[in-house]
Each structure stands twice: as structure tokens, then as C-alpha cells.
Amino acid sequence: MGKYTVAIVRYERPLESVRRAVDLCKGLAHLPHKAKVFIKPNIVFWTRTTPFPKWGVVTTSRVVEDMVILLKEREVEEITIAEGITTFDPQDRETPAHAFESLGYPILRERYGIKTLNVFERPFKKVELGAGVVLNFNPDILESDFVVNLPVLKTHAQTIVSLGIKNLKGLIDVASRKKCHSPDTVKDLNYMVARLANKLPPSFTLLDGIYTTERGPFFEGRLRRSNLLIASSDIFSADKVGAKVLGYEPSQVPYLVHAAQDFKRPLDLSDVDVIGEEIESVASFHEYAFPYTEDGMLPRPLEKLGIKGLSYPQYDSTICTYCSGFTTVMLMAIANAWKGKPWDEVEILTGKRMKPTPGKKKTILLGKCMVQANKNSKDIQEAIEVKGCPPSLQDALNALKQAGIDANPAFFEKMDMAAGSFMKRFEGKPEFEESFYKVV
């Protein structure tokens, strides 16, 4: 069997750079005639209340439109852009609609006749992905003729990188997303993610690296202008090369290790031809983990503030997106509440595996899973349970206050607004252009 081709192209100009990436790897050569095509961008976060940093977080509208144009040139008539945006309220339909509108998808509909689909407005189908993994997938994409997968080139705090295979997590329902963050030390998040592409129709993957993210998948990390496109008709090869460009050997990425075993493929690039730019000329190391103290018990920024009497252990792969959304707000509220007086040995636990530390006086158990895992623990002096899946913002605020942390309610009442505060980092930096997320 011949090698798989991956193209690396520097982004220089609209349409032509994407066209070059597609042509170099012959990414649409196996596109069926009159195909029903689904485009899967990455819209990992959205808020209707404030502008927030999209660079390296959300797939650029520029790349989405360029791909639509290339498909229309090949006489594709039925194109659907589909995504399952994570929202704090899983029943929220207004935020995904606002995202599609803000990103210019209605203009694409008028201009090219494309459709848009919020996968949460459609039923899901139970799909066996092999190795004991059963998840509920959006059937429209699985039953399509061809998928154009448009993830962002980014690192990820839980999976090291988030590329083509990981982007497919946006096609499963809420229950399946939570299931992926299993406490099982074998069938964990990486084990689950590795199987997401197993039933994918013929596809083309284009990693949008016009902007990249360090310590993603959200905007709290470092966002960069990288001007890169990585393309392949083989999703696993695209991910292997993407990992290398971000500074990681595929063997360092657990979900790629599982995928290699599943696909019966080598982990190195011995079965891949890289054309266009050389990996060495474009690679740039992107950290994936947020900095914590050596014992992993407190984020470095809180340590630098001098905070004492508080432990907020480093997250693990078992905390799902719906509880991890609390993390930024909780940490901002805690930092704001610090007045220099040590708190009374408070510990905040998250995810599904964490265990309380003997000697702590107050233990906040954040989320239904943490409450259930430790409800009978003898190592807890005072348990402060924040139930719910996901828990309510008011309950989280009340828990901090019960623990003696006088947090400002505004952080919880206007949780979406917190994302806007990160925009200040990009003031006066012309390389971060909003125009990449518009259709004109």
C-alpha cells in the first residue's frame, strides 16, 4: 500500500492558499459525483453576551467559505455545515444560532445555497465504534457521502492536542460527551476519542492553523498567528503531522497511540509523505498544560498572588466540558476574593477520580460526579456539595461563601461576560483580525 499524503501550506491569501493545500494532497480527488457533503468546523465555545477571542479557538470563516467555493467548483449541490456547540444549558438553541449568524453562515446560505445544522436539534443514533465504545452520533453526517473536517490546530489541556479526530466529538450527544470523560483508567477520554473516526464516511481534513492555540481548547491559553494549513484525505495522518507541528511526537499523544493500534498503523510518519513545507520549518512547540505548583495543588497564577489555605488540584481527563466551564470563572472569582488573609484549609475537587486530602477542613465537591465519588469519605471534615450535572452557578457561589471565600456574585451572574475580559490581551495587536471570522 502506498503512503498517505499530507500537505503543509503557509496561509498567504484567501482561497488560493486553501486551494493549494487541497490540490497538493489531492484531498477532494475521491469526492463522489453529486455528493451530499457535510462540513464540520470547530466552534468549541460561543457566547451571545460579549465579543471574545476566537483566534485559534474557532475555525475561521475564511477557511469555511474557501472550502465551500472549492466544493461548488466541483458541482456539489448539497452542502451542510454542522456543529454541536457546547453550551452551559444543553437545551440552549439561541447561542448556536447566534454563532452561525455571527460567523456569516447565513450569507453562505444565500450565496452558495448551503444549509446549517445544530446537531442538538436532530435525533442521535447509537453507534458501535469498536473496542467496546458505543456513543450516540449525529446520523446525518455518518450517512453523508463525504465529510470535510475543519478543526483548529491547537493543543488541549486534557488530550495534549485537539485535531481532526478530536473535532468529531462535536457530533455526539451530551450523554456521550460525558461518557467520554470516564473514570476508568483504561477506557478513559483518550481511549474514547481515538475511536471517533472509526465509522466516518470518506473525508478530507484541513487543520486551520491561521491561528493556533497553546493550552487550549479555549481562549485562556496563548493564541498565536501561525498562518498554517495542514491537509490530508487521511484523518490519522493529518493528526500525526499536526501533532509534530505543535511540537509533539505522535507517540506522546495518548489518543493517537490508541488510534494507531485501532487502525493497525505505525505511530511515526513512516507511512506518510509530507509535501509542501517541511515540518521542521513550520513546527513550533505549543504547551498543552496550564502551569500548576510542583505538587499540582494550585494554579501558578494563584500561587503568585500569595494565596494560602486553598487547594484547587490540577484537573484530569475525567472532568467533562460542562463542569470544566466552571474552572475559569471559579479561579477568577477566587483571585478577586483574595485579600491576603489565608483561608481555612479549603479544598476544591473536580472530575470523577479525585479524593479528598486528610486534614483539610472544608472540601467543596464540584458537580454530581464528585459528590457521588466522595459522599462517604471519612477524610472529609466538612463536605460542601455542589450537586447537579452541570451544577448551578448559584450553588457554586454559595459553596465558596460557605467555605469562607467571599466571592463577588457578578462572576457567576454574568459568567458569559468573563470571556470578554480576555479581549484586552489583543488590543493593539493588528495580527489578530476579526475579519477572519466574517463573510463579506
CA distances (Å), origin 202, targets 27, 66, 70, 371, 391: 10, 20, 17, 43, 39
Q: Which of 412, 210, 214 is nearest to 331 (CA)?
A: 412
- Name the pLDDT band for 1 (thresholds 50, 70, 90): low
**pLDDT, tens digit (0-9, with 9 covering 90-100), for 20-65:** 999 999 999 999 999 999 999 999 999 999 999 999 999 999 999 9
- Does residue 131 share a domain with residue 66? yes
**114 and 142 co-located in one domain:** yes
In a domain, 141, yes or no: yes
Asked if residue 26 belongs to a domain, the reply is yes
**Do 41 and 160 belong to one domain?**
yes
**Do 112 and 42 fall into the same domain?**
yes
Residue 433 maps to a domain: no
User: Quick one: 284 and 307 in the same domain?
Assistant: no
Answer yes or no: is 436 within a domain: no
Give CA–CA dist 84/170, Å, rounded.
5
pLDDT at 323: 86
Max CA separation in the chain (angstroms): 69
pLDDT above 80 (res 415): no
Which residue, 288, 313, 331, sits at the end of a domain?
288
Query: CA torsion, points 202, 203, 204, 206, in degrees to nearest 10?
Result: -160
Mean per-residue pLDDT over the chain, rounded: 96
Q: What is the pLDDT of residues 150-191, one digit of tens each?
A: 999 999 999 999 999 999 999 999 999 999 999 999 999 999
Nearest-angstrom CA–CA distance, 361 and 346: 6
Q: What percent of the chain has pLDDT over 70?
A: 100
The predicted pLDDT at position 368 comes to 95
Provide the residue range defining the domain that includes 21. Answer: 4-288
Based on the structure, what is the number of domains in the chain?
A: 2
pLDDT, tens digit (0-9, with 9 covering 90-100), for 318-352: 999 888 878 888 999 999 999 999 999 999 999 99
pLDDT digits (tens, 9 = 90+) for 85-142: 988 787 899 999 999 999 999 999 999 999 999 999 999 999 999 999 999 999 999 9
Asked if the structure places residue 228 within a domain, the reply is yes
Same domain, 158 and 190: yes
Grid cell locating 410: 457578578
**Do residue 314 and residue 379 come from a single domain?**
yes
Q: Which residues neighbour 110 within 8 Å (Cβ) at sequence distance 6 or greater?
A: none
Looking at the structure, tell me whether residues 393 and 275 fall in a common domain: no
Q: Are residues 193 and 304 in the same domain?
A: no
Please indicate, yes or no, whether residues 61 and 181 belong to a single structural domain of this protein.
Answer: yes
Note whether residue 69 is domain-resident.
yes
pTM of the model: 0.96
Q: What is the pLDDT of residue 2?
A: 79
Q: Are residues 158 and 231 in the same domain?
A: yes
Q: Determine the pLDDT at residue 414.
A: 79
Gap between the Cα atoms of 150 and 168, Å rounded: 10
Cell 474514547 -> residue: 192
pLDDT, residue 324, reads 83
For residue 40, being part of any structural domain is answered with yes
Q: Is 430 inside any structural domain?
A: no
Name the nearest CA neighbour of 138 among 77, 64, 199. Answer: 199
Q: Are 197 and 319 in a shared domain?
A: no
CATH (domain of 189): 3.40.50.11440
CA–CA–CA angle 235, 90, 176 (5° rounding): 45
pLDDT band at 295 (very low <50, low <70, confident <90, very high): very high
